[in-house]
Amino acid sequence: MVVHRELGPGFLEAVYHEALAVVLSARGVPFRSQVDLPIRFQGRPLISGYRADLICFDEIIVELKALSDLGGIEEAQLLNYLKAGGLRRGLLLNFGRKSLQLRRLMLDCKSEQSP
């Protein structure tokens, strides 16, 4: 919220990403930035993969957006990141609106398992 309050809407995602990294570092929050998330198919890594904006505490993927509104596509993207990264919790932050838009998502591991 500090980042959105100070910068407001209108910047590119990269600006919010850098500003959020400054805030997280200052607050001592452990995070990794621009984390590659390889995708495996039939036990083999694919050339195509994902890149998470941030992973905090080695367990929460934080995906940043600067859009007029969040929709199902952005939520699906974050859920796929969670699957690829083997993580369960994600946070979707949209800086593109007058107020910060935030969605918390959890991957239901039970529904991902084959019967």
Q: What is the pLDDT of residue 62?
A: 97
The answer to whether 92 and 74 have CB atoms below 8 angstroms apart is yes
* Greatest Cα-to-Cα distance within the chain, rounded to the nearest angstrom: 49
The answer to whether 90 and 61 have CB atoms below 8 angstroms apart is yes
Q: What is the pLDDT of residue 44?
A: 92
State how far the Cα of 44 lies from the Cα of 85, in Å rounded to an integer.
15
- Count: domains in the chain: 1
The whole model's pTM is what? 0.87
End-to-end CA distance of the chain: 42
Residue 41 covered by a domain: yes
Could you report the average pLDDT of every consecutive run of 10 residues in the chain (115 residues)?
94 96 97 94 91 96 95 94 94 96 85 40
Q: What is the pLDDT of residue 66?
A: 96
For residue 73, the enclosing domain spans 2-108
Residue 99 covered by a domain: yes
Residue 37 covered by a domain: yes
Residue 115 covered by a domain: no
Residue 113 covered by a domain: no
Q: What is the pLDDT of residue 2?
A: 93
In this structure, what CATH number is given to the domain that contains residue 10?
3.90.320.10
Residue 27 covered by a domain: yes
Q: What is the pLDDT of residue 108?
A: 81
